[in-house]
């Protein structure tokens, strides 16, 4: 199994050439055992089972004058007590490298992201409805200084998308020319022209060419960040597939209110060719429900979200968000509207014990097939820090899903589970 791509591995090897004292490496090993009353998330004939998940998290960070590197991967072996599913390996994480080959003139970047995505977004998330997807991009950026503090950036990124047990692998080539003009010490205006080509490996998928022009205005202050982008996108597809043109925009506003409270607002409209995952809470399992698809089809994505992070009574932290996400496909019957609500609470009971509680509610409307789905997930956890390196987690999870097709309700899915986890931090010493 390919846990990291060649690009991520090359990035890690490159940074090892840096001085050892400038490289921060982390290694944590863990084992989690979970008992569930409904392993397959079935509506009847539920199967209870134990799942054991030994694994490790590897991190590396390097910040130097010419080289920056961040690596964060988690590798897990899923071992099932019964023969319902085959034991499996999982690897998710990110790696990024920025190398200033010629300071202020030439920069090379490499990025790798590996995630789990649902193959069929309109069904419950189970081991046989998950696929690991990998996205790699790398390439150079040339910088020119035409006048004053203005910059011209010319960038080309080669990318590779792969999905195990799926047919939506693709190669991408994206070229961007940007003119960056600071209008004040805290304000920047950027004009960009972008050409992106997506070449699918599967012969049944129509290759895509995106051409877009966009204007971005950004302003930073000590407490507020504002970024506004507007532009126009032209999408050209082969195999007599329908093209898609239209306006695009993105607005991001965040501000700090006091020492511990922050707010964020986002609105965007874009043309995409693969469904992406919503970020739905801080817990790693059901609260991060992926919403992807193994279909590569162009769709218009509109998203609006609001988020707040703060404290309650000075000792309890809260993260809450609400997101509306719409996928309007150009020429297939798969349009989807989603509302996602999440709340995460955490409280440090004493120096060694931490309590956390989180839940999410997702309302999905598959508009063109008269199908709706509601999903609720919750997680309660108690963490005991036994020492500087050793920690224990004890908790429980709930997953519920109810579908309605053509006004007829299907039986509801209910899953309850309890788990225990032990983790030991080997590095840094």
The answer to whether residue 52 sits within a structural domain is yes
Q: Which residue has the tokens 């990291």?
A: 4
Size of the chain, expressed as the number of residues it contains: 429
Largest CA distance in the chain: 71
pLDDT at position 116 is 84
First vs last C-alpha separation in the chain: 30
The answer to whether residue 57 sits within a structural domain is yes
Query: Distance (Å, rounded) from C-alpha 127 to C-alpha 144?
Result: 49
Return all residues near 151 (Cβ < 8 A) that are at least 6 apart: 143, 144, 145, 178, 179, 180
Query: Distance (Å, rounded) from C-alpha 371 to C-alpha 337?
Result: 11
Which candidate, 153, 219, 157, places its Cα nearest to that of 192? Answer: 153
Task: Extract the tokens encoding 123.
Answer: 């069904």
Cis peptide, bond prior to residue 428, ω within 30 of zero:
yes
pLDDT at position 298 is 83
pLDDT at position 296 is 63
DSSP one-letter string for 108-150 = EEEEEEEEEEESSTTS---GGGEEEEEEEEEEEEEEE--STT-
The answer to whether residue 20 sits within a structural domain is yes
Query: Distance (Å, rounded) from C-alpha 182 to C-alpha 415?
Result: 54
Beta bridge partners of 56: 29, 75
Which candidate, 38, 39, 138, places its Cα nearest to that of 86? Answer: 39
pLDDT at position 403 is 84
Q: Is 351 helix (H, G, I), strand (E, B) or coil?
A: coil
Which candidate, 180, 188, 181, places its Cα nearest to that of 141? Answer: 180
Q: Which residue has the tokens 């989603």?
A: 338
The answer to whether residue 294 sits within a structural domain is yes
Give residue 41's Cα distance to chain centre: 24
pLDDT at position 391 is 98
Query: Distance (Å, rounded) from C-alpha 375 to C-alpha 403?
Result: 9
| Domain, as residue range, for 332 | 6-427
Q: What is the CATH number of the domain that holds 392?
A: 2.40.170
Which candidate, 374, 388, 379, 378, places its Cα nearest to that of 425? Answer: 388
Task: Extract the tokens encoding 121.
Answer: 């977004």
DSSP one-letter string for 167-230 = S--EEEEEEEEEEEEEEETTEEEEEEEEEEEEEESSTTSPPEEEEEEEEEEEEE-SSEEEEEEE
Q: What angle do CA 112, 273, 120 make, to 5 degrees?
A: 85
266: exposed, middle or buried (C-beta count within 10 Å: 0-12, 13-18, 19+)?
middle
Query: Distance (Å, rounded) from C-alpha 402 to C-alpha 399?
Result: 10
> How many domains does the chain contain in total?
1
Q: What angle do CA 358, 361, 364 make, to 5 degrees?
A: 155
308-312: long-range contacts at Cβ-Cβ below 8 A with a sequence spacing of 24 or more? 308/261, 308/262, 308/263, 308/264, 309/261, 309/262, 309/263, 310/257, 310/260, 310/261, 310/262, 311/260, 311/261, 312/345
The answer to whether residue 1 sits within a structural domain is no
Series of mean pLDDT values for 10-residue runs along the chain (429 residues): 43 47 89 96 92 97 94 96 91 96 95 83 74 91 94 97 74 96 96 94 82 98 96 89 91 92 96 55 33 62 96 89 91 84 96 96 83 92 96 97 72 93 93
């Amino acid at each position: 199994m390919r846990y990291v791509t060649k690009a991520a591995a090359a990035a890690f090897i490159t940074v090892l050439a840096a001085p050892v004292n400038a490289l921060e490496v982390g290694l944590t090993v863990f084992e989690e055992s979970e008992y569930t009353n409904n392993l397959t998330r079935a509506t009847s004939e539920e199967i209870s089972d134990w799942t054991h998940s030994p694994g490790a998290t590897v991190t590396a960070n390097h910040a130097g004058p010419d080289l920056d590197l961040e690596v964060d991967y988690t590798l897990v072996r899923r071992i099932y007590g019964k023969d319902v599913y085959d034991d499996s390996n999982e690897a998710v994480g990110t790696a990024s490298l920025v190398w200033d080959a010629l300071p202020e003139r030439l920069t090379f970047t490499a990025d790798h992201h590996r995630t789990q995505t649902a193959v069929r977004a309109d069904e419950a998330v189970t081991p046989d409805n998950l696929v690991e997807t990998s996205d790699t991009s790398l390439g150079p950026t040339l910088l020119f200084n035409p006048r004053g503090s203005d910059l011209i950036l010319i960038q080309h990124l080669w990318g590779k998308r792969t999905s195990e047990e799926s047919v939506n692998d693709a190669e991408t080539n994206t070229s961007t020319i940007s003119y960056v003009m600071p209008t004040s010490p805290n304000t920047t205006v950027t004009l960009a022209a972008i050409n992106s080509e997506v070449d699918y490996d599967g012969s049944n998928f129509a290759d895509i060419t995106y051409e877009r022009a966009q204007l971005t205005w950004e302003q930073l202050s000590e407490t507020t960040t504002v970024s506004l982008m507007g532009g126009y996108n032209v999408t050209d597809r082969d195999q007599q597939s329908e093209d898609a043109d239209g306006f695009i925009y993105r607005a991001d506003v965040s501000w700090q209110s006091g020492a511990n409270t922050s707010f964020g607002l986002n609105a965007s409209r874009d043309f995409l060719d693969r469904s992406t995952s919503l970020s739905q809470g801080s817990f790693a399992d059901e609260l991060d429900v992926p919403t992807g698809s193994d279909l590569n089809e162009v769709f218009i994505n509109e998203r609006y979200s609001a988020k707040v992070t703060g404290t309650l009574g000075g000792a309890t932290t809260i993260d809450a968000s609400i997101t509306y996400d719409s996928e309007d496909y150009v020429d297939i019957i798969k349009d989807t509207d989603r509302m996602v609500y999440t709340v995460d609470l955490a409280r440090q009971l004493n120096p060694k014990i931490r309590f956390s509680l989180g839940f999410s509610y997702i309302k999905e409307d598959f508009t063109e097939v008269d199908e709706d789905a509601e999903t609720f997930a919750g997680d309660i956890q108690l963490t005991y820090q036994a020492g500087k390196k050793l920690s224990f987690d004890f908790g429980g999870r709930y997953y519920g899903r109810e579908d309605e097709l053509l006004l007829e309700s299907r039986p509801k899915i209910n899953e309850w589970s309890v788990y225990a986890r032990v983790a030991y931090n080997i590095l840094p010493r």
